[in-house]
Amino acid sequence: MAKSFFHDIEPVPTAETFRILDQFNSDTNPNKVNLGIGVYRTNEGKPWVLPVVSSTETALAADKTLNHDYLSIDGMKEFYTIASKLILGADSPAIVENRVCAVQALSGTGSLRLILEFTKRFLPPKVVYTPKPTWGNHVKIARDAGFTDRREYRCYNKETRGLDLNGMLEDLQNAPEGSVIILHGCGQNPTGVDPSNEEWIKIANVIKEKHLFPLLDYAYLGLVSGDIDQDAFAVRHFVSQGIELGVAQSFAKNFGLYSSRIGCSFLVASSAEYVNTLRSQLKAIIRPMWSNPPVEGARIVTTVLSNPALLTEWKECVLSMSKRIKSARESLFQKMRELGTPGNWEHIMKHCGMFTFTGLTPRQVKYLLEKYHIYTLGNGRINMCIINPSNVEYVAKGIDDAVRNVTE
């Protein structure tokens, strides 16, 4: 019998967050807590279907004029138009001057992949920079888009557990002209450390001076401060400075549409004369990759953002999620202070968005898992959305125990 074509193929590990999820789901311990997965949860530990999303779904399902025909290759025009206005602002000079080329894409991952495929083809010197540390998929997406020259820039200070602004600016200063710089627009994953507005201004100055191409990843718009405009400060400031850029926008977290794969990729050009060419090239990349995007989630987002009453309701939902995340931070910090946990844990309160870099070592992470069935990423990142009144004391005691009794 001939040797199988598949004989020499080696298995590869499952992505860490999903490996943890599989392990968590098969864990029978009643006290188990999964702080590793990147999803929003209610105070009861349940997924939240936003009421405005639920009511909109019902209305759309009852609309007999809708069908399931293909969209255009670049997606639903009403969707990507209003999505770009949401993040840039309807009065953005880029919007007013028709300098934005937006297309519908497959949530955050697909949005990033599309722009990186584009930049790999057309932007010299074909170098991409990712934050150190960053979301694990960033590097993989850049790799599979064909970037062989992948570099990192500093952004996190382990000693202060805050932003390493000087290191970041130095690395950007040394980047080759035209390099693609992936930036977390807000809610840095995994650290929870965002630049202040003043620090974003300094970052923009270097990017403009060195003629770099920023690609801003917006997966958590609104969930950091609770205010869309504040969370969008970075990209709006970059645009105000005349910087050409790309944005990968996801509606998984702020609409709760995780499995709908709704995202928007857009490029901001220096002149409207480039937009038609950019659209043709993005469509040429999309056609052999996913060909056509899904319609249901796009209809939901478009309906909500286009209706003033629904938009107000959605913004209230986003604000409530942001407040709950901040409340979870405070409750965990207070419990650890009550326990007298060794070390300074004020970074839990200073960090923002869904995630916090705890500073736990790999051995302490392993200890938490084996003794307490508390799951975190190997780098110590935890999702603050999972903390709730039912588990905060258990989690705090587990961390306290690990810090006191496990040393490198």
Active site residues: 135, 217, 253
* Tokens standing for residue 229: 């405009």
Q: How many CB atoms lie within 10 A of CB 47?
A: 10
Query: Among residues 21, 13, 15, 14, which one has the least CA distance to residue 383?
Result: 21
Query: Among residues 70, 78, 114, which one has the least CA distance to residue 288?
Result: 114
Classify 208 as helix, strand or coil.
Answer: helix
Distances in Å between the Cα of 91 and the Cα atoms of 85, 233, 242 are: 8, 14, 15
Distances in Å between the Cα of 237 and the Cα atoms of 142, 202, 207, 229 are: 25, 11, 12, 11
Peptide bond into 176 cis (omega under 30): no
Using an 8 Å Cβ cutoff, are 215 and 115 in contact? Answer: yes
**386/35 Cα distance (integer angstroms):** 6
H or E stretch covering 333: helix 308-339
**221/263 Cα distance (integer angstroms):** 12
**71/89 Cα distance (integer angstroms):** 25
**How is 122-164 classified by DSSP, letter by letter?**
HSTT-EEEEEES--HHHHHHHHHTT--EEEEEE-EETTTTEE-
Alpha helices in 27-147 (DSSP H): 51-61, 77-88, 93-96, 107-122, 136-144
Classify 97 as helix, strand or coil.
Answer: coil
Using an 8 Å Cβ cutoff, are 235 and 266 in contact? Answer: no
